[in-house]
Amino acid sequence: MTRTDILQQTSRGDDRHGALATALRVDISASRILSTIRWLMVGATVIIVASLSAPLWMKSVLILGIALVAWPRSSPLPPVSTLHLSANARWRLALANGELLGARLVPPSLALPWLIILRFKCARGCCNVVLLPDSCAPVAARRLRVKLRLLQFPQTLPDGSDAA
């Protein structure tokens, strides 16, 4: 059974578990975990540089470089605030400025219970979305992982049995 067969079944309501039959919306918030990890890494790097046996001017230049790299900067796209996955597997990204973009999920993407990394290609370029446990609702994250698995392995039915 191909991906289009499964999507046609789900659009008719034949999906046994309803996993692909409904659209999915994932509201994304800023992750405190990701911010904490980032600043811990910056702090550890500054401590390592400060403890080097190098001239003071070299340490200062390295610490200034670390600060410039760690400083939040603007990206070509505003941050994604909401992911929309329609019943026919079409992605839309709602940006923080209210703009809605059509997007295509491209590899490599990763979906683990504690981390989801999605890479999208849209008309305005590439966009990476990192979801940690505090980035979205646990139910929405679980549904997203299930849908990603079904889209990744379309030759099997949702319950894992073959279409025969």
Buried b (16+ CB within 10 A) or exposed e, 53-90: eeeeeebeebeeebeeeeeeeeeebeebbebbbeeebe
Torsion angle (degrees, nearest 10) of CA 133, 25, 90, 13: 110
Q: Is residue 15's pLDDT more than 60?
A: no
Burial class (CB in 10 A: 0-12, 13-18, 19+), 2: exposed
pLDDT average, residue stretch 64-82: 76
Share of the chain above pLDDT 70, in %: 76
Q: Considering only 1-5, 36-40, 60-64, 109-113, which range has the smallest mean pLDDT?
A: 1-5
Euclidean distance between CA atoms 152 and 114, whole angstroms: 19
Res 22 pLDDT > 80: no
What is the model's pLDDT at position 7? Answer: 42
Instruction: Please count the other Cβ atoms lying within 10 Å of the Cβ belonging to residue 141.
Output: 20
Position 137 scores a pLDDT of 92
Q: pLDDT confidence of 20, banded at 50, 70, 90?
A: low
